């Protein structure tokens, strides 16, 4: 197991190098950090100065040139310079805010984890519950209801759902004199950052994030449960008179959960993408928003930093998913 994990971690390094190199080049191709910097109102001489001061006049990739005197000059280029700094745990500074990138990400990562974590736990709990229940009571009234609801839920684009929740439960509920949720932020400034405040402000964004995922996961789990429940060993267990609850939870769910765990692990990057929209609409100061705002400004040190964090998270989650397999299915051995 340990060798397996170490090997996977080592394999991740070239992968990360390729990802970062491709993204770095793409960012540089698609946007100019100085273009977003004050539009045409920045004078040519200021642009030229900044381009030089910020090293943006360097080539993106390493370049070797041979001049007429047959002198070879090697320019490391912006990517290698960036990589060198990352390797020494200095991820550079944002072009627009001049803050260290690690500090910026650090300020936001925690908030994203709170939001994502809460949404993940609720999604997981609810979809396990609903998925197992509707598989056990296939074609019951509740199952049909859930099927309809999950199709509706799954077809909502997240920004529509988020805006809908915002307008209904924050704006209209207040107008109608009902108890209402806050429009955004993590806590009321009067009340300060307390746990009840966090929880209260989490409700709408977590709902926006979870509803769609619950809808999808419930469907997924229901069908994989149904598949497992029709297998011979389940029939054997039933014939032996094992309690239905034990059959469902121990015999069936454990096997049905295998593809579900894969899905959860693979969906992490999409979950982070969903966080961009949710964090933006509910003014939740998380990392997804930070990413989006700085993509628009072509602020490559910040964008690269966040992508690196997300890439590492994806790789780690894949390893965790693999390790979880061995717990769920003793036949799987990681070597």
Partner 1 sequence: MNRRSPRSARPVAWVLLIVLAAPILAACSQAVAPTAVPPPQPTQAPAQPATAPPQPSATPVPKPTDTPKPKSLTIGLHQEPDILNWDYTNEWVAQLVIETINPGLFNWDDKNQIFPELAAEVPSQTNGGISADNKTITLKLRPGLKWHDGTPLTSADLKFTWQAVMNEKNTVASRDGYDQIAGIDTPDDTTAVVHFQDVYAPWASKIFRSIMPAHILGSMDSIDKADWNRAPIGAGPYKFVEWVSGDHITVAANPDYWRGRPKLDRIIWKIYPDVEGLVAAVKTGDVDIGVDFTEAKIPEFEQLAPKVRLVTLPTGWVEHYLFNLGPKTGPPFFQDVNVRKAIALAIDRQTIVDKLLFGKTKVARTFWDNTYWENTAIKALPYDPEQAKKLLDDAGWKVGPDGIRAKGGVKLSFTHTTQSGNQLREDVQLLVQQNLKDAGIEMKIQNVPADTLFAGFTEGGPVASGTYQMAGYTDGAFPDPDNGGSNYWTCGQIPTADKPDGTNWYRVCNPELDKLFEQAVRVVDPAERKKLYDQIQQIMADNVYIIPMYDRLDIYTAADRVVGFQPGWFSSFYWNIYAWDVK
Between residue 267 and residue 286, which ones bind partner 1 under the rule CB under 8 A?
Answer: 279-286
Phi first, then psi, for residue 210 (nearest 5°) are -80, -40
**Smallest separation, CB 114 to partner 1 (Å):** 5
Q: What is the dihedral of CA 192, 193, 196, 197, to 10 degrees?
A: 70
46 belongs to the binding site for partner 1 (CB under 8 A): yes
**Smallest separation, CB 175 to partner 1 (Å):** 8
Instruction: Write b or e for each residue in 130-156: b if 16 or more Cβ atoms lie within 10 A of its Cβ, otherwise e.
Output: bbbbbbbeeeeeebeebbeebeebbee
**Tokens in use for 285?**
């100061």
Task: Compute the C-alpha angle 19/23/24, nearest 5°.
Answer: 115
The residues in 314-333 that bind partner 1, with binding defined as CB under 8 A, are 320, 324, 327-328
Give the C-alpha separation, 178 to 203, whole Å.
16
290 belongs to the binding site for partner 1 (CB under 8 A): yes
- Nearer to partner 1 by C-beta: 220 or 284? 284
59 belongs to the binding site for partner 1 (CB under 8 A): no
- Nearer to partner 1 by C-beta: 43 or 333? 43
- Nearer to partner 1 by C-beta: 18 or 164? 164
96 belongs to the binding site for partner 1 (CB under 8 A): yes
Question: Which class for 31: exposed (0-12), middle (13-18), buried (19 or more C-beta within 10 A)?
Answer: middle
Closest alpha carbon to 214 in 291, 274, 168: 274
**Smallest separation, CB 85 to partner 1 (Å):** 14
121 belongs to the binding site for partner 1 (CB under 8 A): yes
User: Using CB under 8 A, which of 5, 75, 83, 114 touches partner 1?
Assistant: 114
User: Using CB under 8 A, which of 23, 50, 149, 258 touches partner 1?
Assistant: 50
- Nearer to partner 1 by C-beta: 84 or 117? 117
Give the C-alpha separation, 253 to 237, whole Å.
14
240 belongs to the binding site for partner 1 (CB under 8 A): no
- The answer for 70, left when phi > 0, alpha when psi is -120 to 50, beta otherwise, is left
62 belongs to the binding site for partner 1 (CB under 8 A): no
Closest alpha carbon to 80 in 21, 156, 163: 21
- Nearer to partner 1 by C-beta: 32 or 244? 32
Place of tokens 């790789």: 315
Q: Are 21 and 79 in contact (CB under 8 A)?
A: yes
User: Using CB under 8 A, which of 23, 31, 102, 242 touches partner 1?
Assistant: 31
The residues in 169-198 that bind partner 1, with binding defined as CB under 8 A, are 170-171, 174-175, 180, 182-187, 189, 192-195, 198
The residues in 242-271 that bind partner 1, with binding defined as CB under 8 A, are 249-250, 254, 261, 264
**Smallest separation, CB 276 to partner 1 (Å):** 10
């Amino acid at each position: 197991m340990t060798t397996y994990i170490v090997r996977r971690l080592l394999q991740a390094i070239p992968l990360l190098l390729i990802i970062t190199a491709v993204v770095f080049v793409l960012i540089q191709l698609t946007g100019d950090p100085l273009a977003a910097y004050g539009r045409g109102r920045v004078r040519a001489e200021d642009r030229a100065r900044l381009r030089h001061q910020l090293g943006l006049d360097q080539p993106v990739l390493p370049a070797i040139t041979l001049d007429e005197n047959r002198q070879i000059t090697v320019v490391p280029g912006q990517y290698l310079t960036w990589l060198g700094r990352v390797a020494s745990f200095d991820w550079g500074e944002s072009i627009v805010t001049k803050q260290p990138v690690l500090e910026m990400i650090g300020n936001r990562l925690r908030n994203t984890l709170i939001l994502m974590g809460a949404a993940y736990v609720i999604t997981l709990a609810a979809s396990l519950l609903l998925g197992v229940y509707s598989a056990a009571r296939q074609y019951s009234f509740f199952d049909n209801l859930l099927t309809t609801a999950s199709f509706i839920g799954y077809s909502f684009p997240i920004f529509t759902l988020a805006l809908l929740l915002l307008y209904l439960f924050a704006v209209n509920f207040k107008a109608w004199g009902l108890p209402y949720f806050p429009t955004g932020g993590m806590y009321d400034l009067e009340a300060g950052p307390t746990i009840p405040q966090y929880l209260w402000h989490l409700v709408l964004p977590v709902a926006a994030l979870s509803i769609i995922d619950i809808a999808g996961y419930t469907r997924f789990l229901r069908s994989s449960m149904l598949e497992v429940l029709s297998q011979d060993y389940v029939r054997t267990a039933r014939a032996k008179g094992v309690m239905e609850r034990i059959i469902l939870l121990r015999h069936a769910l454990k096997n049905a959960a295998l593809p579900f765990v894969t899905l959860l692990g693979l969906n992490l990057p999409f979950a982070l993408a969903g966080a961009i929209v949710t964090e933006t609409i509910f003014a939740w100061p998380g990392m997804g928003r930070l990413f989006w705002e700085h993509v628009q400004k072509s602020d490559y040190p910040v964008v690269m930093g966040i992508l690196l964090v997300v890439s590492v998270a994806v790789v780690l989650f894949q390893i965790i998913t693999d390790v979880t397999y061995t717990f769920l299915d003793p036949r799987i051995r990681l070597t």
